[in-house]
Amino acid sequence: MKLPRLAPFALLLAAALLLAGCQRDTAVPWQLTSIRGHMPDLSFRLVDDSGKTVTAADYRGKVLLLYFGYTHCPDVCPLTLAHLHAVLQKLGKPADDVRILFVSVDPARDTPAVLHDYVRAFDPRAVGLTGSPRDIEALVKRYRASFTREPAKGDSGYEVSHSSAIYVFDRAGHARLLATPPDSQAQIGHDLGLLIAQKDAP
């Protein structure tokens, strides 16, 4: 789980580039899973938590943490966002170059206003994104993530299950790393620190 199938390939690639005397960052000892070249660049057209239509280009220059969730998720989504908040706090000032993009897979209930209060309760660098079901699904599919919605027995109306991975993008919008729940705050912080330091992303 911790070192998925991509890891050996990434290591090979890193070794090859090292031999070639290449100074590229593929030689960086990432602690998360490198997805470089395996996932497309960030692209979307959604609505942010202030109600403004935004695209991936609006976040160029920032290191991005993309996570799919929904606000009526009181356990796992807050756990993930609280962890990311702790990671950013530990990174200190350099973390100002990071944005957490919390994309709702429950746009019917997650209006920009609800999302705004939700993400701000975790971190000032977190942005809530919602939009039409079609636009959200396009982004979900782009990263081979998924979600389902089923009627619930309780008061919540329905329950949502969603991919638990965090996708990390560099300042140029290239997909770089994948963090999954077994990854620790220290591992995420380590790799984020390295990625933030790469001022001119290739």
Partner 1 sequence: MKRRALALLFAGLLGAGAAHAAQADHVRANHAWIRLLPGALPASGYVELANDGDQPARLTGAASTDYASTMLHRSAMHDGMSEMAMADHLDIPAHGRAALAPGGYHLMLERAARTLKPGDTVPVTLRFADGSTLAVGFQVRPANAD
Q: Which spans of this chain sit near partner 1 (rule: CB under 8 A)?
A: 71-76, 78-79, 81-83, 85-86, 114, 117-118, 120-123, 146-148, 152-156, 159, 161-165, 180-181
Residue whose token pair is 């009526």: 72
Q: Give the nearer residue to partner 1 in terms of CB position, either 14 or 81.
A: 81
CB of 202 to partner 1, least distance (A): 29
Tokens in use for 83? 């962890």
The Cα–Cα gap between 47 and 24 comes to 35
Smallest gap, in angstroms, from Cβ of residue 76 to partner 1? 5
State which residue, 15 or 152, has the beta carbon closest to partner 1. 152
Using the minimum distance from each CB to partner 1, give the nearer residue, 2 or 120: 120
Give the shortest CB-74-to-partner 1 separation in angstroms: 4
DSSP codes of every residue in 91-137: H-GGGGGEEEEEEES-TTT--HHHHHHHHHTT-TTEEEEE--HHHHH
